[in-house]
Amino acid sequence: MPKHEFILFKNMMQPGYAGSLQEYERAGGYQALHKFIGKVPPAEVTMAVMKSGLRGRGGAGFPTGVKWGFLPKDYQGPRYLCCNADESEPGTFKDRQLMERDPHQLLEGIVLTCYAIGAESAYIYIRGELILAAKILEQAIEDARAAGYIGANILGTGITANVWVHRGAGAYICGEETALLESLEGKRGLPRFKPPFPATHGLYNKPTVVNNVETLANIPHILGRGPEWFASIGSPPKSTGTRVFCVSGHVKRPGNYEMPMGISFRELIYEVAGGMRSDKPLKAFIPGGASAPFLTPDHLDVKLDFESVAAAGSMLGSGGVTVMEEGTPMVWAALRLMEFFYHESCGKCSPCREGSSWLVQTMRRIVAKRGQMEDLETLVDLCKNIEGRTVCAFGDAAVAPIMSTLKYWRSEYVTLIQEAEAANLIKLEPAGAKR
């Protein structure tokens, strides 16, 4: 694996670096803020981010600068920036490290984004369980405010950007941007119908940008070193820069790894993460968090960029790569993920609310060796009646584990059902019998 330059992890790779304001400044922090705020027109800041090719690192992968550009140009009222730090996707743990180890990198990105979009208020909506990260961010905000980097009249420019931390209550659905906005307003975290979109009717029905932690942390580097530099990294032109991949599961060296986009899964799993922990063959991996469909060893040479993973039938998502060795029961793995999605369904849409319950019941029956062959048809039918029929993408995410394991490991479902039949664990009712 060739050496590469760290961007987001550069500071925390230095011995003894603790993420204080003074350490961040010594490492060149807040120089982009000095260079741009009040000196470069906001529209040029947005254009620089567009030129960099930066795409959202939270899951959808939408071009960041384009998203900023959707805000109405002639709107004179308040605008808002919301930092999505509700990192609840199973297998994903990168944003926590970025907030805990280098909080000012994120704060500088937030203030620069506020300047670019004309927002005077920014909220960091953080997962409720991330207590340490929330405390570190709150202290970092106070330090930055005292230094003149946050608040009114930033660096004497007359520009205002206030930042607050808002702790969520641990609901997975609040990672969806409109459910996040509802929760931030003090309502139950339920996704909104779109359109209208947050760009025009977001927080408090005002123009709003919602960006992920990793996305915003890249902004100071893009502006400080130039969009062309960032665009030359990774897999240009559509997947530029580095990406923090969260590798977990049956590998020898699990952890967060910042790598250029475009490396292969083989390089990430076997060279970076050390290969399989028990030296058993690889059986399966999830490429982008629990909501991404499973992939197989045949996909090891797929590149870790948005287009390549999509072409393989999955998605890069949150960058959470969960690895499973030979011997992992795939029906059980799909059931465990389905149980998570069933528990986290907000209940707004009946296909998701009712369908996820039926999926779990059917899967539990199969795993307990009480299933029947027609259950496989039932699973597919249920999944198809959930997919694409819900307000947000939660429904599609929930069925991904089942549909992908049925695609690649259908034989394991059949074996469990055949074992049930052979052991006479189910009682088939005679034709015409009343239920």
Measure the CA–CA gap between 61 and 55, rounded to whole angstroms: 5
Q: What are phi and psi of 205, to 5 degrees?
A: 65, 25
Mean pLDDT calculated for residue range 14-26: 96
- As a whole-number percent, the residues of the chain with pLDDT over 70 amount to 97
Sign of CA dihedral 290, 342, 193, 112: negative
Tell which wins on pLDDT, 76 or 222: 222
For residue 62 the two structure tokens come to 């939408």
Measure the CA–CA gap between 160 and 344, rounded to whole angstroms: 38
Predicted local confidence at residue 421, as pLDDT: 87
Predicted local confidence at residue 144, as pLDDT: 98
Q: Where are the beta strands (DSSP E) in 241-329?
A: 242-249, 255-260, 282-286, 320-325
For residue 51 the two structure tokens come to 């030129």
What are the contacts of 95-98 at 24+ separation with CB within 8 A?
A: 95/212, 95/213, 95/214, 96/130, 96/133, 97/12, 97/244, 97/256, 98/8, 98/213, 98/214, 98/217, 98/244
**Residue closest to 191 by CA, chosen among 390, 399, 398:** 390
pLDDT surpassing 80 at residue 242: yes
Could you count the other beta carbons within 10 Å of the beta carbon of residue 76? 7
Rounded to the nearest integer, the mean pLDDT of the chain is 95
Can you give the pTM of this predicted structure?
Answer: 0.94
Which has the minimum average pLDDT: 224-238, 273-287, 412-426?
412-426
Predicted local confidence at residue 428, as pLDDT: 52
Question: Helical H runs in 118-241?
Answer: 131-146, 177-184, 213-217, 219-225, 227-231
For residue 342 the two structure tokens come to 């069933």
Predicted local confidence at residue 427, as pLDDT: 57
- For residue 423, name the pLDDT band (cuts at 50, 70, 90): confident
pLDDT surpassing 70 at residue 430: no
pLDDT surpassing 90 at residue 434: no
Answer yes or no: are the C-beta atoms of 210 and 68 closer than 8 Å.
no
Predicted local confidence at residue 59, as pLDDT: 83
Mean pLDDT calculated for residue range 329-350: 96
81-126 pLDDT tens trace: 999 999 999 999 999 999 999 999 999 999 999 999 999 999 999 9
126-141 pLDDT tens trace: 999 999 999 999 999 9
- For residue 300, name the pLDDT band (cuts at 50, 70, 90): very high
274-298 pLDDT tens trace: 999 998 999 999 999 999 999 999 9
Predicted local confidence at residue 426, as pLDDT: 59
**Residue closest to 98 by CA, chosen among 89, 107, 114:** 107
- Domains of the chain (ranges; CATH) run 21-231 (3.40.50.11540), 237-325 (3.10.20.600), 330-422 (1.20.1440.230)
Sign of CA dihedral 98, 101, 105, 108: positive
Q: What is the CA radius of gyration of the chain?
A: 23
For residue 320 the two structure tokens come to 């959470």
Measure the CA–CA gap between 95 and 175, rounded to whole angstroms: 13
Mean pLDDT calculated for residue range 315-340: 96
Predicted local confidence at residue 131, as pLDDT: 96
Helix (H) or strand (E) holding 171: none
Predicted local confidence at residue 435, as pLDDT: 44
Could you count the other beta carbons within 10 Å of the beta carbon of residue 147? 15
pLDDT surpassing 70 at residue 376: yes
For residue 123 the two structure tokens come to 């909220």
